[in-house]
Every structure is written in structure tokens, then in C-alpha cells.
Amino acid sequence: MKPATQPLKITLTFPDGAQREFPRDTTGLEIAKGISPSLAKRTVAMALDGALVDLNDPITEDARIELISREDPRTLELIRHDCAHVLAEAVQTLWPGTQVTIGPVIENGFYYDFFRNEPFTPEDFDAIEKKMREIIARDRPFTKEVWDREKTKQVFRDKGEAFKVELVDAIPGDEPIKIYFQGDWFDLCRGPHMTSTGKIGGAFKLMKVAGAYWRGDSNNPMLTRIYGTAFAKQEELDTYLKQIEEAEKRDHRRLGRELDLFHFQEEGPGVVFWHPKGWTIFQQLISYMRRRLSSDYSEVNAPQILDKALWETSGHWDWYRENMFAAQSAGDEAEDKRWFALKPMNCPGHVQIFKHGLKSYRELPLRLAEFGVVHRYEPSGAMHGLMRVRGFTQDDAHIFCTESQLADECLKINELILSTYADFGFTGDLTVKLSTRPDKRVGTDEMWDHAERVMATVLQEIQSQGSNIKTAINPGEGAFYGPKFEYVLRDAIGRDWQCGTTQVDFNLPERFGAFYIDQDGSKKAPVMVHRAICGSMERFIGILIEHYAGNFPLWLAPMQAVVATITSEGDEYAKRVAAAARQAGLRVELDLRNEKINYKVREHSLAKIPALLVVGKKEAETHSVSVRRLGSDGQKVMPTTEALAALVDEATPPDVKRARAAAGA
């Protein structure tokens, strides 16, 4: 409640706890100057009760105040935002007539979207950056004015800035229209900004150009977006650029080729050719998941291709057709021209299995799992290595249960997902998002209300269980048949990937007339829960490749060790070592080539073979091997039996180790 008359004095609390009174409407700059001129010079913004605002803003009420220097981590956002404005001014100076739109700060920098008939190219960057440095060197103050809404629109209309006019219209009526000047150039902006363009400094760089739809809608015109980044210090920019290089080195498409895991070719856009080594990883992953499922789930396999009629019943033909592959007999004479569709999802197949034979309430929850290969016609621009393909394998399952079992099943799945991610070393932050009803959907509002209510309760429960779990709501992002949880994991270099999902479905069983006989002898439609842990095995392997940078833990490594000889004198012994290793269950290769050991070490190191077992005359005589581990410089001579036992232990999958420990305890 504000008092009827504004007080003339306000009390500000400084970070050290000191409190001082100032006349109302004193600006941050005046306060800084009052403390010391050098402080005023160093200060680029202030925070009132923790919120960053312009240093020149008059302070109207009591607050905690912090004077923010350029070195404060919170300033980074301002540097980038200021830099975006300078970019826009530079572009409009160099190419008059270019329309400006928006220029926000993003995770690693900023961008600005422009409208211009001629798109920009990276060759323009030098000229733009040069102009930006001029503007920064001019060091004009950022000043803010609050304009009348109609006047603002008129000014932008007169300047030919149609997009800005639209932006003004989008600002809620009760919000002020703020205009920031930097010299003569000005932009509509929420702020805040630093005190002048000179504070931006020189540690910025334009990164790339790309197209982007106006307001993120593919029905709107496409703008040209220029991405840039900026830091407080040059060293930080250099570090960032180096990080990008490192990330490129672990790109799964590059490592997939270098490590000979898989390939793509023109005839099969978005479908993977798995090579022996890549397929070994794939199989290890599937074996792992099978072990994790064995106690609760029954594995099934449903057909790859089914009559269109079935997809009409399921609703896919209506709601998902543009993503589906359809097929007919290719023979001209065939009179039977039925349309079939490749399955884009496994659920309808599993419902058929559930429906086969009468089910009793005693059989619920019935959990059917399938490593199901599905095909989806993804937009051409969406394809990205293993991360986004048109044919992929889901570690899919459908749980048929009663409504009262639903919440428990969701929590059980949650446990499985979290423990699986932990086994692969994804120990960073995890986000669980609840996606609610989309516009395009089947089922009644009552069904959706009910489903979303149950899910929201489960989400709360999940949240309360883990400290590194964040939760969020994605309104309108659900599947067309029901709301879903999406599990987003964070990899070794901080990137987020959506993998697991739990989707509640009150529609499909009913559509197919699936039911079970309840305790009272009546027919009831089961609730169906769709769920995947890895999501797509292809994508998950892509994530693993980048997460491990190709250095797989021994249990997943396609080739776990290579036995290499120094001279051909060691051949017989090397064969015995390799045979013993294989006998012990290790995936090993023998390298008897007439090459120098240096050459072999280099080659197998580049191939990221985890263990190199080198044998020469000495080892043969002492029944030992010289073990060189990937990533270490030296080597260690050990008795062969001991070396193999250690490798076998290390190669034991984490879940198997856990099971053994539990059995032993």
C-alpha cells in the first residue's frame, strides 16, 4: 500500500548493510558521485533490490542498492545487450534502409534480426565490426526517454520501421514505451543499458548469419539474423572461442567417421548405416536396457508396416500423416493396391497385442516393451546426424494399467529413467517438463483435465525427490493423444538433450476398443502410458559419443583392447593373449602388422582404443603384457592374468556390478 503522499526522502541500504537517506528521485549516478568520482566512473549500472536498472534512473522508493561495475558478472548481459544495439546502428549506418526488429541477449552472446532484401554474408562482418568499434570508441551515453505510444508508432512509421510499429502494439497498455538513445541512433527497448557505448569494450565478435522467422512463426517473413558474442575481457572471449573448437572436435558426426562407427549417404537421407563398431555400442546399449527391464516388462515385437485403416483408427492418419511414410506394392499388375504405412510409433501395435485375448484386471499393470524401429518423415532441415533421423529405434514401452495405478507407474518410470542416466554418467542438472494439451488433439476436455491433474501431482512428487531435478511446464506441447513428461539431461559440456518421455494416454485404448474385465465383471478401458528412457537409441548414442568425446567407458567401448606386437617374434604369444582375453569376454583385436610400435600406438590411440596390450620378447618370456591406457603417457608391465582380470572387472556394466553387490550382500 502506497501512502497517499509520496515521502520526500528514501532510505537506501548498501551491500555492507549501511543505510543512508537520500532525496527522492536521486539517481544512482548521483549517489556514486557523492561517494567518489572514481567510483562514479567505474559504475555502469545499479541493482535495486537485486534487479538491474539504468544507473541514471531516479530512485523512487526505499531499496537495497548495489552499484555495479563493469567487472561484475551481472554486467555481462548488459555488455551483450549494448553490443546488440551497436550492431544494429552499425548495420543501419552501412546499409541505410535496413529495418531493425529485435536484438536480445542469448545464452552465449546476442543476436539482432534485420529485414533487408539483400541478405548479409559473413564477408560483411569485417566492415560491420569496424563500424561497431567506431561507435564504441565514440563513447556516447545511453539515454532513456519514455515516449507516448502513438508518437512512438508515428516516429517508427515515418522511419519506415514497420516491424518496430508492430512491436509497440505488442507492448501491454500499462507498460511505458522506452526508447534508448546512443548519440543520434535510438531503439525501442526494455533496457537496462550501461552508461555509454564505450563501456562495451573490444572483446566482441560476430559469429554467423542465419535466417529466422519474424516472431518465430514460419508463416511470417524471414529475417536475417546476425549472431555475435561479447565478453568483459578479451581472454574470456578467447576461452569461449576455444571451447567452441573443442565442442566441434567432439561432434558425433565427426567422431562417427573418425572412429568408424556409422555413415550416412545420399540415397538414405536421415537413415543410418551402422558399421561394426557403432553397432557394437548399439547392442551394448540394448543389452543394458534389456537387463534393466527384465523384472517388470515383457518384450514384444510388432510389425513394421500395417494397413492404413489401422492408422485411421489410431488417429495417426488424421493427425500425423505429414510425418508418415506410406507404401504400396510397386508391381504394376498387382490388383491389390492397399495402402500401408510404416509405423511412426509403436503404440497401435502394442494395443493390438493387448487386445489379443481377454485381459483381466489381475494382469494389470501389463508392461509391453519393444526396441521398436519407427520411421518419421522429418522436415529436411531438421535432420542432424544421429540426433534427428527419419528411421530410429525407440526403447519404447506401453503400460496398460488402471487409473489408480497410474501415478505409481509414472513414478516407477521416473526411477528407471534417473538411474539409467546416472549409469551413463549424466550427473548434471536434469529437467522434467510437463507438456500440456496442444491445439491439435483428440479426446474430450474432461479427459485432458483429468490426465493433466494426475501428471501435475506426479511432477510435484518427482520434484520433491531429487535435488538436481528442475521441473517446468510446457503449455500446449503435449502429444495429440495426451500430456507428457519430457526428461532433458545435461551432457559433459553443458548442453541439454531431451531423451526420456512419459506420456499418459486416455484415448488410444478406447479408439481401438481395448478393455479388461474388472473385479465386478464389467469391461473397462485401461489407461495407457507410453514411455521411453533413451528416447531414440540413435540419438542417445549420438549424445554418448559427444558426452564421452569418443572415449567410451570400457563396458561400452566397441573395441576394448588391442594386442599389439613389437616384432613378429611376439606373434604366437600375442595370439594366446588375445585368445585368453576373448575367452574372458573382452572385445579385443590382434595387431600383428609389420609396423613399428610407435606407429601402432599412434594409430590405436587415435582410434581411441581404451587399452593397448603390447607384447614383445620380454613379455612372452614372463607371461606378462605391457598395458598402455588411452589418455596416459606411460605403460605398465603386468602379469597377463592380472591385467585381463582388471579389464574384465572394469568392463562389467554398472547395473551388473550393482546386481552382484546386492546378491553378495
Q: Which of residues 111-140 bind RNA (CB under 7 A)?
A: 119, 121
Tell me the C-alpha distance between 71 and 464, whole Å.
37
Q: Is residue 633 among the annotated active site residues?
A: no
Q: Which is nearer to RNA, 40 or 226 (CB)?
A: 226
- # residues near RNA by CB under 7 A: 74
Nearest to 207 by CA among 183, 227, 236, 177: 227
Q: Which is nearer to RNA, 192 or 550 (CB)?
A: 550
Amino acid at site 354: F
Applying CB under 7 A, among 162, 606, 645, 646 the residue interacting with RNA is: 606
Nearest approach, Cβ of 255 to RNA (angstroms)? 12
Nearest approach, Cβ of 532 to RNA (angstroms)? 7
Catalytic residue of the set 396, 491, 505, 591: 396
Nearest approach, Cβ of 192 to RNA (angstroms)? 25
Applying CB under 7 A, among 597, 638, 648, 656 the residue interacting with RNA is: 597
Applying CB under 7 A, among 216, 331, 521, 664 the residue interacting with RNA is: 216
Nearest approach, Cβ of 622 to RNA (angstroms)? 10
Tell me the C-alpha distance between 181 and 142, whole Å.
5
Instruction: Give burial (CB, 10 Å; 0-12/13-18/19+) of 312.
Output: middle
Instruction: Give burial (CB, 10 Å; 0-12/13-18/19+) of 62.
Output: middle
Q: What is the DSSP letter of 120?
A: P
Show the site string, 173-212: x = touches RNA by CB under 7 A, - = not. -----------------------------------xxxxx
Catalytic residue of the set 530, 539, 547, 604: 530
Q: Which is nearer to RNA, 327 or 637 (CB)?
A: 637
Applying CB under 7 A, among 382, 422, 472, 645 the residue interacting with RNA is: 382
Q: Which is nearer to RNA, 153 or 388 (CB)?
A: 388
Q: Are 390 and 376 in contact (CB under 8 A)?
A: yes
Q: Are 143 and 118 in contact (CB under 8 A)?
A: no
Helix, strand, coil percentages for the chain (3-state, nearest 5): 40, 30, 35
Count Cβ atoms below 10 Å from residue 108 Cβ, excluding itself.
Answer: 14
Q: Mutual orientation of helices 445-465 and 403-423 as an angle, nearest 10°?
A: 40
Tell me the C-alpha distance between 104 and 88, whole Å.
11
Q: Is 660 in the site for RNA (CB under 7 A)?
A: no
- Report the phi/psi class of residue 302: left, alpha or beta, with left for phi > 0 and alpha for psi in -120 to 50: beta
Nearest approach, Cβ of 424 to RNA (angstroms)? 15
Tell me the C-alpha distance between 603 and 365, whole Å.
52
Tell me the C-alpha distance between 200 and 137, whole Å.
9
Which distant-in-sequence residues (6+ apart) come within 8 Å of 350 by Cβ? 300, 302, 368, 370, 398
Q: Is 224 in the site for RNA (CB under 7 A)?
A: yes
Tell me the C-alpha distance between 634 and 626, whole Å.
10
Q: Which is nearer to RNA, 186 or 497 (CB)?
A: 497
Applying CB under 7 A, among 289, 432, 454, 614 the residue interacting with RNA is: 614
Catalytic residue of the set 376, 490, 539, 608: 376
User: Count of H helices and E strands in the chain?
Assistant: 21, 36
Q: Is residue 396 among the annotated active site residues?
A: yes
Alpha helices in 436-499 (DSSP H): 445-465
Q: Is 596 in the site for RNA (CB under 7 A)?
A: yes
Nearest approach, Cβ of 253 to RNA (angstroms)? 6
Applying CB under 7 A, among 269, 276, 475, 585 the residue interacting with RNA is: 269
Tell me which residues in 321-380 interact with RNA (CB under 7 A).
376, 378-380
Tell me which residues in 510-539 interact with RNA (CB under 7 A).
532, 535-536, 538-539
Q: Which is nearer to RNA, 292 or 604 (CB)?
A: 604
Catalytic residue of the set 83, 347, 401, 534: 347
Q: Is residue 519 among the annotated active site residues?
A: no
Nearest approach, Cβ of 582 to RNA (angstroms)? 21
Nearest approach, Cβ of 55 to RNA (angstroms)? 32
Nearest approach, Cβ of 320 to RNA (angstroms)? 10
Q: Which is nearer to RNA, 146 or 170 (CB)?
A: 170
How many degrees, rounded to 5, is the angle at CA 239 between CA 234 and CA 241?
95
Applying CB under 7 A, among 174, 266, 333, 439 the residue interacting with RNA is: 266
Which distant-in-sequence residues (6+ apart) come within 8 Å of 367 by Cβ? 296, 297, 298, 397, 398, 399, 400
Residue owning grid cell 515521502: 7
Tell me the C-alpha distance between 475 and 459, whole Å.
14
Which distant-in-sequence residues (6+ apart) come within 8 Å of 340 by Cβ? 305, 306, 307, 308, 326, 327, 328
Q: Is 107 in the site for RNA (CB under 7 A)?
A: no
Interacting span for RNA (CB under 7 A) from 25-33, 73-81, 181-189, 561-569: 561-569
Helix (H) or strand (E) holding 383: none
Q: Which is nearer to RNA, 145 or 258 (CB)?
A: 258
Applying CB under 7 A, among 11, 567, 658, 659 the residue interacting with RNA is: 567
Tell me which residues in 454-483 interact with RNA (CB under 7 A).
477, 479
Q: Which is nearer to RNA, 244 or 358 (CB)?
A: 244
Q: Is 381 in the site for RNA (CB under 7 A)?
A: yes
Applying CB under 7 A, among 368, 612, 643, 644 the residue interacting with RNA is: 612
Amino acid at site 165: V
Catalytic residue of the set 80, 250, 433, 484: 484
Q: Which is nearer to RNA, 418 or 615 (CB)?
A: 615
Q: Which is nearer to RNA, 132 or 612 (CB)?
A: 612
**Does residue 174 sit in helix, strand or coil?**
coil
Q: Is residue 394 among the annotated active site residues?
A: yes
Q: Which is nearer to RNA, 39 or 601 (CB)?
A: 601
Count Cβ atoms below 10 Å from residue 408 Cβ, excluding itself.
Answer: 12
Applying CB under 7 A, among 152, 182, 197, 626 the residue interacting with RNA is: 626
Instruction: Give burial (CB, 10 Å; 0-12/13-18/19+) of 503.
Output: buried
Nearest approach, Cβ of 117 to RNA (angstroms)? 9
Q: Is 245 in the site for RNA (CB under 7 A)?
A: no
Applying CB under 7 A, among 356, 594, 661, 664 the residue interacting with RNA is: 594
Nearest approach, Cβ of 498 to RNA (angstroms)? 4
Q: Is 551 in the site for RNA (CB under 7 A)?
A: no
Nearest approach, Cβ of 85 to RNA (angstroms)? 20
Q: Are 422 and 396 in contact (CB under 8 A)?
A: no
How many degrees, rounded to 5, is the angle at CA 535 between CA 529 and CA 541?
160
Nearest approach, Cβ of 61 to RNA (angstroms)? 38
Q: Are 88 and 187 in contact (CB under 8 A)?
A: yes
Q: Is 637 in the site for RNA (CB under 7 A)?
A: yes
Q: Is residue 499 among the annotated active site residues?
A: no
Q: Is 566 in the site for RNA (CB under 7 A)?
A: yes
- Give the three cell numbers for residue 456: 501435475
Residues identified as active-site = 347, 376, 394, 396, 398, 484, 530
